[in-house]
Structure 1
Amino acid sequence: MGQSKERMKITLIACIFILCVSIEGDAEKIGVNNGLLGDNLPPQEEVVSLMKMNNIGKYRIYKQEPTVFKAFANSDIEIIVGVANFDLQRISSDEKEAMKWVAEYVKPYFPATNIKYIAVGNEVLGKAETAKYVGYLLPAMINIQNALQKANLQDKIKVSTALAARDLIEALSFQAPSKGTFTEKVENDTSAVLKFLEHSRSPFLANVFPFFIYNSSRDSYSLDYALFKPTAPVVKDGNKIYKNLFDAMIDTLYSAMESMGYSNIPIVVTATGWPSKGNDVATIQNAKSYNNNLIKHVLSKAGTPKRPGQSPETCIFALFNENQKPGDETERNFGLFYPNKKPVYPVQFSV
């Protein structure tokens, strides 16, 4: 009996150790987004080589793309694949549509292609232009989750949705992370999403862009604070000191989730970055500072003041400048590389 208890104790310790290694390992490599919105982008096989050469370990695409799945097979690079907003209505309407999606875009490629997360929809909540998709979001997430469960993949691939921090929380609220709450406009829908994430043990996928918060609230935040430069002024929130806006935005999201009763859902940063062209602060120098400082911060495993030692998995937007991306000029100039694979500016992807 004593030996049995000892074996159980050893097994428990081993399981805890493995879990800790898994959690810590999540932020050991930086990731990138590729919106694929360009008519001059390199083939996916060349993308794999470029990423491996630069020690980039995660790759996010915004919709299913078989050429990506094939190219990234046996690469060990983790894939975040999106269900496009325009597919939400169809997939939410019938679980068979979700099963068809999983059968066509997941089962033929997994596990050779390391699909880790499925982001059902992108930035659906809080935007006027995506309001028409809100009613379809949660049903589509549930149907994809059920389809994965029927394929016995629910513990291997996690289902979530990517939401924009700036659409969920007022810009000035990031000055007091401990008091973070979701806006009244999105709180009911966000609460329903969080309930799903807690039940399915999935992470909160967050698009976190200090660039947009600084650009819209320049009187409230300094540029150095947005660029990870540890100079005054910093934000003091109770006994916590914030030296960069990125950490403040993440901790504000954690506080907002806690205010709704969800304190154990981890955040994965599915998009963050800084444009190198398009307005007075969208410069190569600022983009270089932001992304290099971001990578150094994330890979240091420093975490945030609210979650010290727990750096979130983080993907930079974007791998390439995308000449067909709609919106203003900044939207087409977030790339770390030009489409010819030459760097826009030097980036150190490992520490």
Structure 2
Amino acid sequence: MAKMLLLLWLLVDLLVFIITVAQDAQPVGVCYGRVGDDLPSQQDVVNLYKINNITRMRIYDPDRATLQALKGTNIELIIGVPNDSLQSLNQQSAANTWVRNNIQNYSDVRFRYVAVGNEVDPNNANSQYVSYVLPAMRNLHNAITAAGLGNQIKVSTATYAGLLGVSYPPSNGAFNDNAREFIEPIIKFLAENNSPMLVNIYPYFVDANGNLLYALFLSPGTIVSDNGRNYSNLFDAILDAHYAAQASVGGENVEIVVSESGWPSAGGDAWTFQTAETYYTNLIAHVTGITGTPAKPGRSIETYLYSMFDEGMKPGAESERHFGIFYPDRRPKYQLSFNLIKSRNGKISERYGLLSAFSVQGF
């Protein structure tokens, strides 16, 4: 009888554990950029998301054909406001019209966030947009609230590691002095409205001191020890540096959504096809688990892979045109599973000895 009761207790505990994992886990999204002349139609792209069980998408402008194709699907959407549209939305009437045309007119699209600008920075080529970001965010928030959608759709902006002046060790993360004046009021706005910060995180672009294993989630142990927090991958270190920087300006409780992360399969120094596949595979396994980061443990990390397709017309370095996880003819470039669920320690079998471990390719 005692053995039966013990077995029953273990089974109940296992069931509760699995339900907790399923509830806490976040599906991985994929960014849909369209800077190419050989890409599928928007309807074909949405069908590809559905076929591959990709339930979150980020787009960079309110493309009507994409919004039309998303109607009636279960795909949750980050819709972007391009940087060159920010100034026009500094008028409340223009923001009201934008929300009416691009959100209210698509009531059966599952909008999640509005990304107001992308990687605007006082120190880069987007510096001319700095003064327009927060007023546009406020006006769009007002319009969304007036439409009765404030609890459903959160307004944010997408930033990146370029705003950090200090990132090592992660607990010392801080914004550049000349970026702080720009980003601090934005973070306070997010905190006041319970909205997340969107952050593009690319270990590929960050100096990993030549440690490719650290960037690819393959380090066998601790690489950075930071006041009792042990880091074995660069992604977590960058993310926690952003959290520390936010906390220093009143954003302790502002959640971070990783709005882009990826690795090119060609065109750069630290690349091979296999390297890119390894990064995407291990990134999915990491963020869909509920291990979190050393500073924010016990949670999955809402993350969007960049990007759905190679974009042959993107400007800049050759590598910029090779971040796709599908080819333009819709063939998968890699073998990825987009909704992997892992246990808190990565292997349910280690805790119970009852189920086989989840692999990085699926169940």
> What's the TM-score, normalizing by structure 1?
0.88
Deviation at 1:128, TM superposition (A): 2.0
Paired residues of 1:62 and 1:82 also in contact (CA < 8 A): yes
Paired residues of 1:24 and 1:310 also in contact (CA < 8 A): no
Deviation at 1:262, TM superposition (A): 1.9
Equivalences for residues 169-318 of structure 1 within 5 A: 169-170=164-165, 173-213=166-206, 217-218=207-208, 220-231=209-220, 234-318=223-307
Letter of the 2:240 counterpart: D
Paired residues of 2:265 and 2:323 also in contact (CA < 8 A): yes
**What is aligned with 2:162?**
167
Pick aligned residue for 2:313 from 324, 327, 340:
324
Identity %: 41
Whether 2:71 is the aligned partner of 1:79: answer: no
Query: Structure 2 regions of 5+ residues with no counterpart?
Result: 1-18, 341-363
Pick aligned residue for 2:132 from 125, 133, 136:
136
SS at match of 1:108: helix
Deviation at 1:265, TM superposition (A): 0.6
Measure, in 2, the Cα distance between the counterparts of 1:121 and 1:25: 31
**What is aligned with 2:354?**
none
**What is aligned with 2:58?**
60
Letter of the 2:259 counterpart: T
Paired residues of 1:191 and 1:260 also in contact (CA < 8 A): yes
Whether 2:98 is the aligned partner of 1:105: answer: no
SS at match of 1:342: coil
Measure, in 2, the Cα distance between the counterparts of 1:24 and 1:121: 32
Q: Deviations over 1:53-98 (max 9, x none)?
A: 2221110001111111111112111000001100001111x10000
Letter of the 1:137 counterpart: V
Range moving further from structure 2, 228-237 or 132-141? 228-237
Range moving further from structure 2, 339-348 or 82-91? 339-348
**What is aligned with 1:147?**
143
**Compared with structure 1, are the counterparts of its residues 24 and 163 closer, same or farther at alpha carbon in structure 2 (3 Å cutoff)?**
farther
Deviation at 1:290, TM superposition (A): 0.4
SS at match of 2:167: helix
Measure, in 2, the Cα distance between the counterparts of 1:70 and 1:302: 37
Q: Deviations over 1:299-328 (max 9, x none)?
A: 112111111111221000000001111111
SS at match of 1:128: coil
Deviation at 1:221, TM superposition (A): 5.0
Range moving further from structure 2, 51-60 or 153-162? 51-60
Letter of the 2:38 counterpart: N
Measure, in 1, the Cα distance between the counterparts of 2:221 and 2:291: 20
Query: Structure 1 regions of 5+ residues with no counterpart?
Result: 1-19
Q: Deviations over 1:224-248 (max 9, x none)?
A: 1001102356111111111101111
Measure, in 1, the Cα distance between the counterparts of 2:181 and 2:74: 38
**Compared with structure 1, are the counterparts of its residues 24 and 162 closer, same or farther at alpha carbon in structure 2 (3 Å cutoff)?**
farther
Letter of the 1:47 counterpart: V
SS at match of 1:340: coil
Deviation at 1:27, TM superposition (A): 4.5
Measure, in 2, the Cα distance between the counterparts of 1:159 and 1:221: 37
Equivalences for residues 2-151 of structure 1 within 5 A: 25=23, 27-92=25-90, 94-110=91-107, 112-151=108-147
**Compared with structure 1, are the counterparts of its residues 258 and 127 closer, same or farther at alpha carbon in structure 2 (3 Å cutoff)?**
same
Measure, in 2, the Cα distance between the counterparts of 1:187 and 1:27: 33
Measure, in 2, the Cα distance between the counterparts of 1:138 and 1:99: 16
Deviation at 1:346, TM superposition (A): 2.0
Paired residues of 2:144 and 2:150 also in contact (CA < 8 A): yes
Stretches (4+) displaced over 6 A:
none
CA RMSD in angstroms comes to 1.8
Paired residues of 2:59 and 2:78 also in contact (CA < 8 A): yes
Measure, in 2, the Cα distance between the counterparts of 1:24 and 1:175: 33
